[in-house]
Structure 1
Amino acid sequence: MAMTHPTHADAATAAGGTAPVRSPASPPDFRAIFEASPSLDLLLAPDLTVVAASDVYLRALLAGRDAIIGRHLFDVFPVDPSGSAAAGATDVRASLARVLATRAPDTVAAQWYAVRRPAEQGGGVEERCWSITHTPILGADGAVDHILHRVDDVTGFARTGDGSKAAKLDGAPPVDAAVIVRAFEARRAEVQKTHELEETERELLRSEEERQRLVVQLRNERARLNLDLTAQMRAEAALRRSEQEFRTLAENIPALVVRFDRELRHLYVNRQVAAATGLPTSAFLGKTNRDIGMPEQVCAPVDAQLRHVFATGQATTLEFVYPSPAGPRYFHSWLGPELSASGSVETVCAITRDVTEQKELENERRRRMEELAEAARRKDEFLATLAHELRNPLAPLRNGLELLRLGESDPAASERARAMMERQVAHMVRLIDDLLDVSRITRGKLRLRRERVELAGVVQSAIEASRPLIDASRHELTVDVPPGPIHLDADPTRLAQVLSNLLTNAAKYTDPGGRIRLSVERQGGEVVLAVRDTGIGIAAEHLPGLFQMFSQITPALERSQGGLGIGLSLVRGLVELHGGRVAASSDGPGKGSEFSVRLPVAEERAQAAAAPGEERETPSLPPRCRVLVVDDNSDAADSLAMLLRVLGYSVEVAYDGRQGAEIAERFCPDVVLLDIGLPKMNGYEVARYFREQPWGKGMVLVAMTGWGQQEDKQRATEAGFNVHLTKPVDPGTLKALLADLDERRRGPALAAPPRAP
């Protein structure tokens, strides 16, 4: 039977004990096993120090464990060199040396030893025949870690039948050699059998240890698998929850949600996709954008961005336009990567919103910003033009004044100067009136004085107003008006203003000697008035903004024809107030232009007599009425006073409100021409003060102001004014007013001031 080098566990087994089954939590106590061995065993260190002893050995020596543990073997068993046991001790020492050198078991021949007899056996010393076996116990490095010193008592085999020694083992001649041989043969067989049993036990122990190790390993593996399985189940549950949350969110957000795999196939689409396309969700699954028929101009950029996200793992955004029968739709997409457990991009989620309305709002905002910028540009140009147009009359007015001063001896020159100055003042008044009209239209304050009018009369008034400029430019004017009356429910003054503006524009923007045609045509329930010229024409890009505020056909510096660029805006506003439309057309620069006005025709019926308008109630004035002029502009006040004195009126002048009140109390005027914007006391305060005085209740109060809106007139009436005139007041109007008052002076004075018109 092959011999193997024993370990510590083998030593315990060899001691005759039965190794207990070891559990992972409680390893066996090998020292206890060793000490319980039924053999006479010592465990020696390599330096032959006793480290353990079996209980049987201690009983055989009649010694305690403390007496030998930690002591050298030959200190425990001192040997007398001259005694009979010296040879046996030498053999033991040699055997131990061989074990240390060869790391192999070694046996010492049987020797007689004097062993003390226990007291219960009578005490004294008894000779015993012992056979010793030394077995090395190797460490992990292969060196001898310990030596098992086992003693086999063979005294029974070494004695003769009568109980005497069978041989003098200390070198005396043997008594019965055959008996000794048989004894040793029997003992050898017993030892061999013992070794075989021990080896079997060691194999069984190793098998049991291996089984226990495998059991522990299996238990650990099962625990690990259970942990892994638990973690996997938890991860799968979390994944299911995450997927459910994703689908709940995706099905309820107002956006199109699509999940793509690496082949750009649809793995998931929400119900909003189905609603937007009219296709069931199953029509998308497993298909690419091209498979479902997405237009190439949309598919190409979308697929390119999807591949970019798969390649880089970075989210991105995309905007694209999708054609549809109702018009292009604008979409904004967010593309985000979804990672696998390994960190690679597994899918891409696309969240897409229809931003058509937002785009339209942005475009509208941009358009409005451009319009505002253009309006600001036109306003700046208009202000420059306004300054130019207001300065233009000032030069001839100044020249006229100088001519009047120098031409007193030349009545003809003075008359020409006066006529020129009247024309320039009238021009300035028209400019200011146009500005006021446009302001009223813009704020919805302009009110038409509608009446049933015959169109031919309106056309004739417009021609008369524009004839001087047409004749001065040597234009040929053709008028085509159908026979028979055409009636309109309109404000004749405003309608004539519209046609006059169109004719004047045609004259301005046509080179001298051109042709202008005014035509009137009835078309069903409408009448169309068209003004066609052979002038400079209009570029196509200028037509859309032609009727906007401050627009001129050509820049002022390029072709200065006068005007503020508000005439066409005023035309459009007045036409729309009449329920009509105005349009412009041209074949291009240098090819003339045509402006057409469409107005609704009044129903044919017997014209009812116009209701008489409210007449101004004015108090009668005594002969040689007295007039008080109150204005903080001294030039305006003094010049007006001079004019009134020339007309034969008695006039006093005041330059602020408080001075006016003081002079009125002393002068007792019949008429007060009162400015509104006065220092110290404004015109409203002065008027209320006059009405509170006994001497002021019968005065005629005339407001003369630059504030001419309807609310200004209403405020003047509430303050006690009889009449409201807007500056600059036409001298003829003022003379007519005063003459009318003179005519009515014969009647009794009114007890209370009348309402202003």
Structure 2
Amino acid sequence: MSANTPYPVPDFRNLFDTTLSPLLVLAPDFTIVEVNRAYLNATRTERSIVGRPIFEVFPDNPDDPSADGVANLRRSLRSVLETRRTDTMALQRYDIPTGEAGGFAERYWSPVNTPVTDADGTVTHIIHRVEDVTEFVRLRRAGQERKRAEEAARTRAEDMEIDLFVRAREIREVNEQLSRANAELDAAGRTLREEQQAKDRFIATLSHELRNPLAAATAATELLALDLPEGHPALSVLERQLGTLVRMSNDLLDGTRAVTGRLELVRGRTDLRPVVAGACADIRGLFDHDGRTLDVDLPAEPVLVDGDRLRLAQVLTNLLSNALKYTLAGGSTRVSLSVAEGRANLTVVDDGIGFAPGQAEELFGVFMRAAPAGPSTPEGLGLGLSVARTIVELHGGRISAHSVGPGTGATFTAVLPLATATATVPEPRRAPRSRTVPKQLAVLIVEDNTDLATTYRTLLERQGHHVTVVHTGEDAITATRAHLFDVVLCDLGLPDIDGYAVARAVRSRPHGGKVRLIAISGFSRGSDQGESRSAGFDAHLAKPLPLVDLLELLGGTLPER
């Protein structure tokens, strides 16, 4: 790595989870919002404690009348909220539940509570760091043992003291580094616009980095499907799990945009019926697994709304994914679309595990789940319903959940305003002069991900196309200068120049208008698509791109430029 090459952005979530010190993140109301593995190991708990109040998870030992762990910790946390300063607690006895007939295990801790504040100085979270010093306390109690045991105990106690001191110094150094990094960020730009732009760039980069390996894995799975026409059990597993990863990645990115208020809509007069039908068709294969059923009830007349077709389909996909998680094998889900009192009602009803009625509103919170993950409830980020609510509210609608109780199933209803009768309906564009795509095309693939490029090449060559692959923007410009390609499939995030520069270079040539330019990228925000159109791309498709969509694009009619 050269001196001018920036270091890769570290995976902060992984850093947090692998930190040796036990760490717990609390909301201002003392609800647990995150925890690392060291804390779970130290307290003998599981991730199901996330989302619960800390004093509900760790109550005082009822058999110890002198227990004061809850009172001391509550006092320290309140001090952090009031003063916005770190509070280092004295050594505490705070027994932890063993989970065995209400038993408790004696434990001693050295806690430190640190505030996390926003730009206004408001405490948004509290980092609760502890060190289990139970063994240290027990060794100190063993002072009456014979000399050799006493010396051994003293040595171990000293080692533990040294370890605690070293860890404290390391944490202090990390905090100082973070403080310096924050100061550098503040010096680089303090305005809200600059901070928002930094967030947008992070989201776009994260999108690109996540979608590249997903695209390669998806394409490789489709290649296996071609090689195994009779099918294979592993293929269906790969397809389902990759689909889940794609939806989780989209939820993560859209959840971040929703929290920062940057979720984008591209509005237009939209009939909800094909939106619902398409979303159900895309996910039906997952419902067929384990004997689940998916029924759809659509009205005969159009249901017109002023909305973003793709985002509205995402709402239904997220609701159906939620139903899929919490519906047992053999269960059923029903989707219905109706019109009443000037509004469109989209309802998803399942006969799954349900939830307590008082929990309905909480389900739409960020990282919230109806139940802990298990054999019948696959893993998820708890973002799908939050993103769905944001999209519906951006359309001027509302979304709600209802269940009689656990085991009774659930109903989710999205209500959207119908398009007004006087709303402007865009006039249809004139059909462009077109030429039918020949069965064999000369295709240039510009992709720096070698695995993805190789797989795309194999898939397209199987369809009879002539394919050339390059991995940099400069090589793409050279290749298009030497050969006339029918189609150029170009990534946007290339290692030298970006895909926009490649498109502009191709379009600037005398015959550049005859080339079909298609952007295939992990950068898929509305602003990215607008920039690709300005650069000369005919289409902008997000990774991972299913083979059937790519072949449909290549096998249709191409407009003359």
Q: TM-score, normalised on structure 1?
A: 0.40
Specify the alignment match of 2:323 in structure 1: 506
Which residue among 124, 138, 147 is the counterpart of 1:369? 124
Q: Which amino acid aligns with 1:594?
A: T
Matches within 5 A, 1:354-503: 369=124, 411-413=229-231, 421-438=238-255, 441=258, 443-451=261-269, 453=271, 460-461=277-278, 463-474=280-291, 488-491=305-308, 494-503=311-320
CA contact (8 A) 2:219 2:547 kept: no
SS in 2 for 1:369: strand
CA contact (8 A) 2:328 2:352 kept: yes
Q: Which amino acid aligns with 2:264?
A: L
Residue by residue over 1:147-173, the C-alpha shift from the partner in whole angstroms, topping out at 9 and shown as x without a partner, is xxxxxxxxxxxxxxxxxxxxxxxxxxx
> Any gaps of 5 or more consecutive residues in structure 1?
1-361, 374-385, 751-757
- Give distance in 1, aligned partners of 2:416 and 2:244: 29
Specify the alignment match of 1:579 in structure 2: 396
Matches within 5 A, 1:220-619: 369=124, 411-413=229-231, 421-438=238-255, 441=258, 443-451=261-269, 453=271, 460-461=277-278, 463-474=280-291, 488-491=305-308, 494-514=311-331, 516=333, 524-539=341-356, 542-556=359-373, 560-602=377-419, 611-613=427-429
CA contact (8 A) 1:479 1:519 kept: yes
Q: Which amino acid aligns with 2:401?
A: A
- Give distance in 2, aligned partners of 1:684 and 1:470: 40
State the shift of 1:553 in Å.
1.6
Q: Which amino acid aligns with 2:371?
A: T
CA contact (8 A) 2:325 2:376 kept: no
CA contact (8 A) 1:644 1:651 kept: yes
Residue by residue over 1:528-562, the C-alpha shift from the partner in whole angstroms, topping out at 9 and shown as x without a partner, is 44444443333466444321233222233686424
Q: Which amino acid aligns with 2:327?
A: T
Identity %: 36
- Give distance in 2, aligned partners of 1:727 and 1:713: 13
- Give distance in 2, aligned partners of 1:397 and 1:697: 31
SS in 1 for 2:369: coil
State the shift of 1:612 in Å.
1.6
Specify the alignment match of 1:689 in structure 2: 505
State the shift of 1:705 in Å.
1.6
State the shift of 1:634 in Å.
1.7
CA contact (8 A) 1:470 1:504 kept: no
Which residue among 498, 521, 531 is the counterpart of 1:715? 531
- Give distance in 1, aligned partners of 2:443 and 2:297: 51
Residue by residue over 1:45-104, the C-alpha shift from the partner in whole angstroms, topping out at 9 and shown as x without a partner, is xxxxxxxxxxxxxxxxxxxxxxxxxxxxxxxxxxxxxxxxxxxxxxxxxxxxxxxxxxxx
State the shift of 1:412 in Å.
2.0
- Give distance in 2, aligned partners of 1:524 and 1:493: 25
Specify the alignment match of 2:90 in structure 1: none
CA contact (8 A) 2:331 2:351 kept: yes
- Give distance in 1, aligned partners of 2:533 and 2:379: 37
Which residue among 609, 625, 635 is the counterpart of 2:451? 635
CA contact (8 A) 1:543 1:585 kept: yes
State the shift of 1:398 in Å.
12
Q: Pairwise CA RMSD of aligned residues?
A: 4.8
Residue by residue over 1:652-709, the C-alpha shift from the partner in whole angstroms, topping out at 9 and shown as x without a partner, is 2212222223333223333322222222333233333334444645433322221111
Cα separation, partners in 2 of 1:586 and 1:411, compared to 1, 3 Å: closer
Cα separation, partners in 2 of 1:646 and 1:466, compared to 1, 3 Å: closer
SS in 2 for 1:599: strand
- Give distance in 1, aligned partners of 2:298 and 2:250: 29
Cα separation, partners in 2 of 1:621 and 1:522, compared to 1, 3 Å: closer
Q: Which amino acid aligns with 1:722?
A: D
- Give distance in 1, aligned partners of 2:308 and 2:215: 33
CA contact (8 A) 2:518 2:540 kept: yes
Cα separation, partners in 2 of 1:473 and 1:497, compared to 1, 3 Å: farther
Cα separation, partners in 2 of 1:655 and 1:604, compared to 1, 3 Å: closer
Which structure: larger Rg?
A: 1
SS in 2 for 1:639: helix
- Give distance in 2, aligned partners of 1:395 and 1:559: 29
State the shift of 1:478 in Å.
7.3
Cα separation, partners in 2 of 1:413 and 1:610, compared to 1, 3 Å: same
- Give distance in 2, aligned partners of 1:673 and 1:654: 11
Of 717-726 and 550-559, more deviation after overlay is shown by: 550-559
Determine if the alignment matches structure 1 residue 651 to structure 2 residue 450.
Answer: no
- Give distance in 1, aligned partners of 2:501 and 2:216: 37
CA contact (8 A) 1:393 1:424 kept: no
- Give distance in 2, aligned partners of 1:395 and 1:701: 21
Determine if the alignment matches structure 1 residue 724 to structure 2 residue 540.
Answer: yes
- Give distance in 1, aligned partners of 2:344 and 2:508: 55
- Give distance in 2, aligned partners of 1:638 and 1:601: 47
CA contact (8 A) 1:581 1:598 kept: yes
Residue by residue over 1:216-237, the C-alpha shift from the partner in whole angstroms, topping out at 9 and shown as x without a partner, is xxxxxxxxxxxxxxxxxxxxxx
SS in 2 for 1:611: coil
Cα separation, partners in 2 of 1:562 and 1:726, compared to 1, 3 Å: same
Cα separation, partners in 2 of 1:730 and 1:614, compared to 1, 3 Å: farther
CA contact (8 A) 2:518 2:539 kept: yes
Specify the alignment match of 1:264 in structure 2: none
Cα separation, partners in 2 of 1:664 and 1:487, compared to 1, 3 Å: closer
Q: TM-score, normalised on structure 2?
A: 0.52
State the shift of 1:568 in Å.
0.5
SS in 2 for 1:550: coil
Residue by residue over 1:593-637, the C-alpha shift from the partner in whole angstroms, topping out at 9 and shown as x without a partner, is 3323222345579x9986325878888888954222222212222
CA contact (8 A) 1:691 1:720 kept: yes
- Give distance in 1, aligned partners of 2:359 and 2:491: 44
State the shift of 1:592 in Å.
3.8
Cα separation, partners in 2 of 1:421 and 1:614, compared to 1, 3 Å: farther
SS in 2 for 1:733: helix
Residue by residue over 1:224-251, the C-alpha shift from the partner in whole angstroms, topping out at 9 and shown as x without a partner, is xxxxxxxxxxxxxxxxxxxxxxxxxxxx
CA contact (8 A) 2:331 2:352 kept: yes
Determine if the alignment matches structure 1 residue 734 to structure 2 residue 550.
Answer: yes
